[in-house]
Structure formats: C-alpha cells, structure tokens
Amino acid sequence: MKLEPILEELEGAAAKLGVKVSYETLAETVGGGGLCKVKGTYRVIIERRATVGEKVATLAKSLAHLGAEAVFLSPPARELVDRYQAPAA
C-alpha cells in the first residue's frame, strides 16, 4: 500500500477539522511529534525526518483523539485512524 496518498488524505482531514499540521525538526528526546493545543487551537507537529509510515501513524493517532468520524476518509485511511481509537468503555 502506498502511504504518500494516505498521508495527503490525513493532512486534508486535519485541515477540515481546523487542525494545523506542521513538519519540524524535533529534538531526539521529543519523539516523532504528536497532537498539542496552542492558544486554544489544536496542532499536530510531526518530525520532518520521520519516514512516511511514521508520519502517517502520528497523524492517524492525532485524528483518532480528535474524533474524525465526521470527516470522510477512504477505507484504508479510515482503518488506520480507527486502529488508534480508544476502545469504548
């Protein structure tokens, strides 16, 4: 499966949710990035040097925490986001 189109799709979904996605060079101790809230606005910061797979995973995890059910995603992208959903109690 090609991950580049899925990454673009997830970036588009984040934009529809009003979430800014940025790629930055992070310190080794920070990890691959993730979701944060800056001045009341959600933002996903992703390690610029990460592989495409790592970028997809970071973005999918972030979208899962934001409740991206309202945004249409292709079946492969939806499966990745759903994989990171917290199980219902």
**How confident is the model over 17-49, as pLDDT tens digits?**
999 999 998 887 667 789 999 899 999 999 999
pTM (predicted TM-score) = 0.88
Please indicate, yes or no, if residue 73 is contained in any of the structural domains: yes
Please give the C-alpha separations between residue 44 and each of 1, 28, 83, 87, 89, in angstroms, as whole numbers.
24, 17, 18, 22, 26
The mean pLDDT of 38-64, rounded to a whole number, is 93
Please indicate, yes or no, if residue 88 is contained in any of the structural domains: no
Query: Token pair for residue 83?
Result: 């994989």
Please indicate, yes or no, if residue 27 is contained in any of the structural domains: yes
Cβ atoms of residues 16 and 71 within 8 Å: yes
Placement of tokens 């970036």 in the chain:
11
Which structural domain, as residue segments, surrounds residue 48?
Answer: 4-83
Please indicate, yes or no, if residue 89 is contained in any of the structural domains: no
Per-residue confidence (pLDDT) for residue 88, from 0 to 100: 56
Please indicate, yes or no, if residue 36 is contained in any of the structural domains: yes
Query: Token pair for residue 84?
Result: 């990171």
Please indicate, yes or no, if residue 74 is contained in any of the structural domains: yes
Q: What percent of the chain has pLDDT over 90?
A: 74
Q: How confident is the model at residue 57 (pLDDT cuts 50, 70, 90)?
A: very high
Placement of tokens 């944060």 in the chain:
36
- CA-to-CA distance for 50 and 31, rounded, in angstroms? 10
Per-residue confidence (pLDDT) for residue 23, from 0 to 100: 94
Number of domains in the chain: 1
